[in-house]
Structure 1
């Protein structure tokens, strides 16, 4: 599975894992490289060393060499940052379509865009084939249960797609003065519980071990049938014991492998995951089977 594979469909059986949480930090129109102080601060937070910003073709080659698929996205923070996201949702979707053997495009729309955002979501789904949407409540400065976001959720639910919510602590702004002005309060997973109740058909992923609200995330995933948890953003050696216990038992069909690439690489994550006491029959569910079912692959 090395080399370019334009137009080749995904062979799920040939994949060793599906990474449901990766970030695209560079446009194909850019030169790969650094991304200012914020990017460097985040790399320092993750103890990732020198991190390269990856374009979609670079990510496709990276994951193809590892016999993995990846969900790819960026984050639209227009309301807070005043900048349009780069690369755009359209670029990510178009480029991912050229590498559909390994890449699954998600989009990101700032809920503050209102009705225009809902229209954009519909266009991205119907014209560009995006498979889900990424929300980052802390970076986008909104509570997930804020009614302004509900038109977006309605479009996503109507098309049977997935909404992925950042939860808990974040590397964004970490270690900078005032945390870059970002507020952690928005990312308590209990706010997503309201969304799951109000949109019972919406597929939801709670991203990351939700420190300091891990118990809340487990409770929401147990209580709401279509709420899942991805394990990205942390090395598995730091997972709370209760998260490991539930992943092994009551939530074995609802927990997903995610890395948070490029800040955490699949190699680093999988090496530490291999040391966890995960049951043999549960391990393939977390690494691939649960995601394949959720995303309809």
Structure 2
């Protein structure tokens, strides 16, 4: 990947459809997500189409799906397929994987295999969708493997559009996505690089506290248009967390075009903008020579 040719790194995009047309979520949950984001009729691009989309914009993108089969009964898009599709576009795509933590020690074995044999560069968790609390010891063998592998773990935090408006929220429990539950993970795995995904409504203050207190906890800004960011999040991004905040869109339900247009109007210091858009993610993902630990 030629970092000099890339203007931004989007650390949060979803592979919603596999090669054979299999979707990442059930039709009911996908429809709820589309309604929540007012993205009715949006296309579900293939990974190849995502590569073309980001290449046209001179951006790189982290791509993942979510394995929530235990909680939902819906089979995931295979991690190997996502990784292979990304490997065909190494100039713009960075593969993450998702493993259901209910698999226990088998999940840890799988994580090591995916990194060593398939080039996976990180792992995505969605506690509410996957039906587990991040501090559940069931998931600890998997965290231990990810920490040893030296790749990041990205956790959905805050409210989710998945299941919104469905009776009972589609069985999705929001409390599992409180970032304070990830604080325990950061304590018990002090060398694990953690990304708290999204402005963490209604727990934004908690997310800022964890990211400020724990040196290897980052925040991505996906899932919200920047014009809706809480003022305190903007203030921390400009100051205390200037080296630990990351651009993410939530593509395809929220496009980088929309996100960047609104980010341009946000009161972000000129020297902080390139950090958020590219430099912080490049360092975290090991795409630069500089691996300096953030203050």
Say whether the fold is shared (TM-score over 0.5): yes
Aligned length: 286
Q: Which residue of 1 aligns with 2:290?
A: none
Alpha-carbon distance between aligned partners in 1 of 2:29 and 2:171, rounded to the nearest angstrom: 12
Residues 26 and 74 in structure 2, CA contact (< 8 A), matched pair in contact too = no
Contact 1:35 1:53 in 2 (8 A): no
Counterpart residue number, 2:111 = 121
Within 1, Cα distance between the matches of 2:175 and 2:142?
21
Please tell me whether residue 49 in structure 1 is matched to residue 40 in structure 2: yes
| Farther off after superposition, 223-232 or 49-58 | 49-58
Aligned pairs for 1:1-297 (under 5 A) are: 10-30=1-21, 36-86=27-77, 88-297=78-287
In structure 2, C-alpha distance between the alignment counterparts of 1:142 and 1:30, rounded to whole Å: 28
Q: Which runs of 5+ in 1 are unaligned?
A: 1-9
Segment of structure 1 superposing worse, 145-154 or 40-49: 40-49
- Structure 1 stretches of 4+ moved >6 Å: none
Query: Deviation digits for residues 185-225 of structure 1, max 9, x if unmatched?
Result: 10000000010011111000000000000000000000000
- Bigger mean CA offset, 35-44 vs 153-162: 35-44
* Contact 1:137 1:166 (C-alpha < 8 Å) held by counterparts: yes
SS of the residue corresponding to residue 84 of structure 2 reads helix
Residue aligned with 1:174, SS: coil
Q: How far apart are 1:114 and its partner, in Å?
A: 1.1
Task: List alignment gaps of at least 5 residues for structure 2.
Answer: 288-295
Distance 1:37 1:174 in 2: 10
Root-mean-square deviation (CA, aligned residues, Å) is 1.3
Task: Give the structure 2 partner of residue 4 of structure 1.
Answer: none
Q: Distance in 2 between matches of 1:50 and 1:272?
A: 22
Q: CA deviation at 1:48?
A: 1.8
TM superposition shift of 1:52: 0.9
Cα deviation digits, residues 97-142 of structure 1 (max 9, x gap)? 1101000000000100111111111110111010000000000111
Post-superposition offset of 1:35: 6.4
CA distance in 2: counterparts of 1:35 and 1:169, whole angstroms: 19
TM-score, length basis structure 2: 0.95
CA distance in structure 1 between the aligned counterparts of 2:263 and 2:41, rounded to whole angstroms = 23
Distance in 2 separating the partners of 1:40 and 1:165: 22
